Structure 1
Amino acid sequence: MARTRKSLPGTVDVAHLISAGVLASVCPRALIDEVLAETGKASQRHRALPAPAVVYYVMALALWREAPLEEVLRVVCEGLNWLSGGEAGPVQVSKSGISQARSRLGSETMRKLAERVLQPLAESGAPGAWYRDWRVMAVDGSCMDVADEPGNAAFFGYPGTSRGHSAFPQARLLGLVECGTHAVVAAEMAPFKRSEVAMAATLLPAKLTPDMLVLADRNFYGFTLWQAADATGAKLLWRVQSSVGLPVERRLSDGSYLSTVYDGKDRARKCGITVRVIDYRLQDAATPAQDRYRLVTNLLDPEQAPALELAALYHERWEVESVFDEFKTHLRGASTVLRSKTPDLVQQELWGLLLTHFAIRQLMVKAAQPHAIDPDRLSFVHARNVIKRKLPQAAAISP
């Protein structure tokens, strides 16, 4: 049975088009021009599809994943034309022309744009985003299926299975997430074979700040990464595996205790780092293996951060799982595989996805602020749909 080609409405009204303005409110034209000049990707001659329009188009791909590439371009360009008072004029570009325009833009421009745009959103003291004086963050990773093309397969690689490998190559994505707003404030992407720990060794020292309290699962703990993250001044609360030796050196008033961790190469045990250890169990866990937790933190004073509060706070780490669900289910939708056919365009598409997700989350934070509510109580799906069809007040693209 032949499949029906999906399309967007033939006559797209202003309320539908204006989502381009929401994207532009996050990535203003002036910033895009600046990054294009910095990366040497600014259009050197008049083109039917200039580089700034391609940036918005790549972001829009995350909103209209159900539509063909040409349909998404039509919606974006009609929105740009309306916002410019008709000066932009109609754009007719073939599918191959779109691919060529994306290839000219490359992934580096989108990466640098994301580095300039992505940032924490919660104001000081905002509900659900802070623990005492620290902004609650979490780091974790996930994998995204990419198109099964020779170039993607060679660059990204396949996950192994009991009978060979999976159906699609996978890109690995590591995100530093603000738990209270679900905003991804920094990210790294790499082939599947690169570990999350190796990616975190690059990301965390560059992006952590002293006002952050960072949560991480037990797979991240290692002396070298802990030392690098601790050196940023950020506060850390990481789960560790039960096999990690953490002898009791001094028991504290709240039941936690101090211990010292060492690099495995430090045989003489001369260069250790003092940590505070919190052991606890969860009641009514699904299995006995899930009820035991061991956390380490560089918050050494129990008066500054009681063990019971930190144990409860650690489970905010699961907010990052919801963020990846927003990427992989609500933005990606029925399109389970990223569209791009080459490694550079896959990375470009992922940076566009990150920027669009940030635009949606920023809108949700602005909606929550006047009512002093936690943004994660709002519906991400509803916000996405609003951006796609109901935001004439958000126009922000300069002619």
Structure 2
Amino acid sequence: MGEFAMPVDRDVFDPAHLGVLTDQLPVELVDEVLAACRRGERRVRLLPARVMVFFLLAMTLFPERGYAGVWRALSCRLRGGVVPSAAALRQARARLGEAPVKMLFDRVRGPVAPAGLAGAWWRGLRLVAWDGSTLDLADEPPVRAAFGAPVHGSGREGAPQMAFAVTVECGTRAILDAVWGHRRTSEPVLAEGMLGCLRPGMLLLADRCFAALRLWQAARGTGAQLLWRAPARLSGTLIQRLPDGSCLVERRGYAKGERHLRVLVRLIEAEITIRLADGRTRRESYKLMTTLIDHRAFPAADLMACYRQRWEIETALSGLKAVHKGSLRPLRSRTVTGVLQEFYALLLTHHLLRRLICHAALDTGLDPDQISFTITLHTTRDSLITGMGTRPCQAAQDWEHTLAQITTRPAPATRRPRTSPRVKNRPKVRYPFRNTHPNPKTQTATYHITIHHPPSPSPSPSLTSTPTT
């Protein structure tokens, strides 16, 4: 198909911007992706594909607005421009499809933290983590059939949901990769689709649900180092006890298709004592397994303290779902193609916002954790309405204004240790109920880590030569 070559300042192409995020997503990159996906036009439409890409991204920045409201935010600087109807915008979305948005996300995603950025590196290794979650979808028969729905205790199905998994850079919470699947797809199966983003020089943190031996070997084959939480019942053949309290253990596969697998891992068992501000004490046992065998370069206590960085992905998912999308708001699309299109647009804009936070932190000397994601989101929305970041003659002034907005009240550089007990989510019911258990309060706490020393290994010369990392 032919490509259009129209000037950007024409009214029909003027809404092709994203405020202060425009520099991170130039029009030339969008045109290149559209040409690669064969979405260019032979004739100039009132809603070109280029404009629809930016409309989709703006739609994820204004999830509470309808199509007309999003278009007004994009084109409020225009005078006398054509205002398309909601039906025309839906048809233009259908013509665009999901492929350009997915390719654009693949072109933009990736690590953004430079070497030495606080919180992003540990002992020369880039800290990354992966985890899974779900997104609520519109209750339409095609969507329910494609993505599935959770089944409640009464046996009735709830609203449709999409299962997805993301890999996040812990220091900046930028998205490195993402995959989606059916509601019943397990997180380890989803994680297999993200192995391509792992590189040597990374330290991958993961929860205990990913502890399958086959996934462990696949992730280790990428060259990345691993630090995963192990199930409490995980056991193996003790090979050697190390001076720091950890031990080398041979893991054998017991699941179907894994019985021939043998790997050598370093196992760390510890008890974490949490003393709350009200005087109460809580204890929890942790068991970690890692590929970092050298106990001198990577002591067990330091690895146990480093694992706390895995909670950065929980904060990233909370920002994506509760702040960016809205916790009580499902995706607005009512077709399978529209859901995937909106999913990748949401991930793309979220990654651009995290990159903006990282750039602002580098310019001001702050830690990215000190910059509020909510303030950054609102500042970006305002800049899209006012057209900031789209005028080359005022680029420096717009950037200075953005820095002043998102770094006005940074969080403290060192936050106090806090804890809050985990509770079961409140069931989604239509009728009010009596809340006999008040919401738990977050309290200031102090942590103490005690490494458990395993018993001495029994002599078995045949085992020292069989395990492989």
Length-normalised TM-score, structure 2: 0.75
- Cα deviations across residues 139-189 of structure 1 (Å, max 9, x unaligned)? 001101000011111111111111234431001121000111011111111
1:254 alignment partner in structure 2: 244
Aligned to 1:9: none
Greater relative CO (CA pairs within 8 A, separation 6+): 1
C-alpha contact (below 8 Å) 2:119/2:171 kept by paired residues: yes
* Alignment check: 8 A CA contact 1:186 1:203 kept: yes
Which of 224, 229, 239 aligns to 2:219? It is 229
Any conservation in 1 of the 2:31–2:50 contact (CA below 8 Å)?
A: yes
Structure-1 separation of matches of 2:290 and 2:247 = 11
The residue correspondences of 1:345-356 to structure 2 (distance < 5 A) are 345-356=338-349
Contact residue 273 and residue 283 of structure 2 kept, 8 A: no
Tell me if 1:314 matches 2:307: yes
2:303 alignment partner AA:
L
* Post-superposition offset of 1:20: 1.5
User: 1:144, 1:170 within 8 Å by CA — same for their partners in 2?
Assistant: yes
| CA shift for structure 1 position 78 | 4.1
Using structure 1 for the length normalisation, give the TM-score: 0.87
Q: What does the per-residue CA deviation read over 1:272-331, in whole Å, with 9 as the maximum and x for residues that have no partner?
A: 221111111110389999711111111110122111111011111111111111111111
Kept in 2, the 8 Å contact 1:18–1:395? The answer is: no
Mapped pair 1:161 → 2:161: no
Tell me, yes or no, if the aligned pair for 1:140 and 1:216 is still in contact at 8 Å. Answer: yes
Which region of structure 1 is more displaced relative to structure 2, 214-223 or 327-336? Answer: 327-336
Q: Is the 8 A contact 1:49 1:91 kept in 2?
A: no
How far did residue 198 of structure 1 move?
Answer: 0.7
The one-character-per-residue Cα deviations of 1:14-44 (angstroms, maximum 9, x if unpaired) are xxx9972333323221111111122222233
Residue of structure 1 in register with 2:168 after alignment: 177
Name the CA shift for 1:218/1:271 in 2 (closer, same or farther; >3 Å).
closer
Does 2:45 align with 1:47? Answer: yes
Give the deviation of 1:378 after TM superposition.
1.1
> Superposition pairs for residues 35-184 of structure 1, below 5 Å?
35-78=33-76, 90-184=81-175
Q: Which runs of 5+ in 1 are unaligned?
A: 1-16
Structure with greater Cα Rg: 2
Q: Secondary structure at the match of 1:55?
A: helix
Task: Extract unaligned runs of 5+ from structure 2.
Answer: 1-14, 393-469
Identical amino acids, percent of aligned pairs? 37
Question: Is the deviation greater in 371-380 or in 227-236?
Answer: 371-380
Give the letter aligned to residue 394 of structure 1: G
2:325 counterpart of 1:332? yes
Q: In structure 1, what is the Cα distance between the partners aligned to 2:38 and 2:257?
A: 50
- Structure 1 Cα separation of the partners of residues 75 and 121 of structure 2: 40
Q: Which moved more, 1:336-345 or 1:26-35?
A: 26-35
1:193-342 matched pairs, under 5 angstroms: 193-204=184-195, 206-264=196-254, 271-284=261-274, 291-333=284-326, 336-342=329-335
Aligned-pair CA distance for 1:336: 1.4
| Partner AA of 2:230 in structure 1 | V
Amino acid in the other structure paired with 2:133: S
* SS of 2:64 mapped into structure 1: coil
Query: Matches of 1:199 and 1:266 in 2, distance apart?
Result: 19
After superposing the two structures, state which structure 1 stretch, 212-221 or 319-328, moved more: 319-328
- State the match for 1:384 in structure 2: 377
**Partner Cα separation in structure 2 for residue 127 and residue 187 of structure 1:** 24
1:268 & 1:92 partners in 2: Cα distance?
59
Question: Aligned with 1:249: secondary structure?
Answer: strand
Equivalent residue letter for 2:284 = D
Structure 1, 225-234 or 155-164: larger mean CA deviation: 155-164
Contact 1:141–1:174 (CA<8 Å) still a contact in 2? yes
What letter matches 2:50 in structure 1?
P
1:318 is paired with a residue of what secondary structure? helix
Partner Cα distance (2:108, 2:55) in 1: 17
For the Cα contact (< 8 Å) 1:18–1:388, is it kept in 2? Answer: no
Alpha-carbon separation, structure 2, partners of 1:50 and 1:69: 16
Q: Give 4+ residue runs of structure 1 displaced > 4 Å after superposition.
A: 265-271, 285-290, 390-393
Q: 1:183 to 1:267 in 2, by over 3 A?
A: closer
Contact 2:274–2:283 at 8 Å: present in 1 too? no
Give, as a single letter, the amino acid of the residue that structure 2 aligns with 1:63: L
More helix by share: 1
Contact 1:18 1:394 in 2 (8 A): no
- Partner residue, 1:13: none
